[in-house]
Amino acid sequence: MATSMNRKSKTHKFGGLICTSHEFEVPLDYANPNRAQISLFVREVISAEHSENAENMPVLLFLQGGPGFGADRPESASGWMKRALKTHRVMLIDERGTGLSNAVTHETLATLANATMQAEYLKFFRADNIVRDCEMVRKALLGEKKWTVLGQSYGGFCATTYLSFAPEGLAGAIMTGGLPPLVNCPDDVYRATYKMTIEKNKIFYDQFPDDVKKVRKIVDCLYGEKVLLPTGEILSPSRFLQLGLNFGFNSAGRSMTTIHYMMENAFVQTSAQPKLSYQFLRNVESMNPFNTNPIYALLHESIYCQKQASDWSAERMVQDFQEFSHDHDPVCFTGETIYPFMFDEYECLKPLKEAAQILAEFKDWPALYDIEVLKSNSVPCSATIYYNDLYVDRVLAEETGKTICGAKYWITNEYEHDGIREDGEKILDRLLEMLG
């Protein structure tokens, strides 16, 4: 197997933290380790007050949500990290294809000769290989010492894959809003999350009833004329309605309230007639991450696939819900769903359209979970299940919690999906206590 030797280490001290960066070379394909190597970045964080004893502290590995997003960039000991650093060394890994770990972007994918090669490359960026990376890093940094994994959202999916295929590396597993549905394709997932998205729309319009007319006016405007975003991209009704992706958050800047405030100044009065304002268009442009984080679009449906193709599941399933028709009253925003139109409208996704189609048709995705291993699990596990989660269906999450032997889970309606960002210190403290 190719080497996992540490290439570089750099240490920075700020905000009461000591951060050491580690870089590794790991195989792109662990089954063919000599085929190609990719870089992997890990940031180790300790509290300055524990610097002399850090080597003796237990280690907490944080896996970020997504897929396709790099790890947190800490500035101080706050939120969940404040609690973690009281008792642990923290490892923040940029999962492969994100952050400083050979980031996948439209620029980097353009270096591959064609769409087939792009798709073949991207097949190695799911949870199974993320777990293999984690194990290589653990052995390189800790030897045979085990660590506890904290997985937020998709990070919890990865943690469950970890429990399935490399439980010997884990002292414990904590999942926040991340007990994955143990399915073989996304259809059942979207049937459930579309229903929750409809509920979130009802909540939105109950809170802001005047927005029923505002949203209709915006959608009618986008149907009636060609509207360009500041980037030069077309703003279609479908792209505008993807702002509902934020309906499952409470964090500042990403919530229903954020979308409501955006629409307060959606139109500006010109000498001729009202038109959508630059400020509004700029805000719409910045709210969704698909241009900057293409893995989120390219691989999102595949995170549910085991030996089956996704076949554009969200696009197929939406046909069962007339509420998402644009002539429905009120107009419904969509949620965390990926559609073919995005590869015609998002500038950085356009050159990846053919690769996206190949991935949607691919049937031979390897297994992400081993149900029998999970049923006989012996690793201590604790988790939050958010009752009204827009992104991870509560019922499917509960089924997973019951499948993982010994798992303890806390069902709460006190938080939304981003509870760990809103009240991370309290949530992590409780989950660590549940872990035992």
Query: Catalytic residues, which ones?
Result: 153, 364, 417
Alpha-carbon gap, residue 386 to 396, rounded angstroms:
12
Q: Report the first-to-last Cα separation within the chain, whole angstroms.
A: 36
Cβ pair 298, 209 in contact under 8 A: no
Cis peptide before 67 (omega within 30 of 0): yes
Q: Are strands 6-14 and 89-94 parallel, antiparallel or unpaired?
A: unpaired
Alpha-carbon gap, residue 265 to 131, rounded angstroms:
45
Phi, psi of 303 (to 5 degrees): -70, -10
Q: How far is CA 343 from the centre of its chain?
A: 19
Cβ pair 187, 165 in contact under 8 A: no
- Burial class of 285 by CB neighbour count within 10 A (0 to 12, 13 to 18, 19+): middle
Residues 6+ apart with CB under 8 A from 301: 186, 310, 312, 313, 314, 338, 360
User: What 3-state DSSP class applies to 406?
Assistant: coil
Counting every residue written for the chain, the total comes to 436
The DSSP secondary-structure symbol of 54 reads G
Cβ pair 312, 372 in contact under 8 A: no
DSSP labels, 110-164: TTSSSHHHHHHHHTT-SHHHHHHHHHHHHHHHHTT--EEEEEETHHHHHHHHHHH
CA–CA–CA angle 114, 291, 297 (5° rounding): 70
Alpha-carbon gap, residue 346 to 48, rounded angstroms:
43
CA–CA distances in Å: residue 144 to residues 27, 81, 107, 173, 251: 21, 25, 38, 17, 38
Strand order in the sheet with 17-27: 6-14, 17-27, 37-47, 89-94, 59-63, 147-152, 170-176, 381-386, 408-412
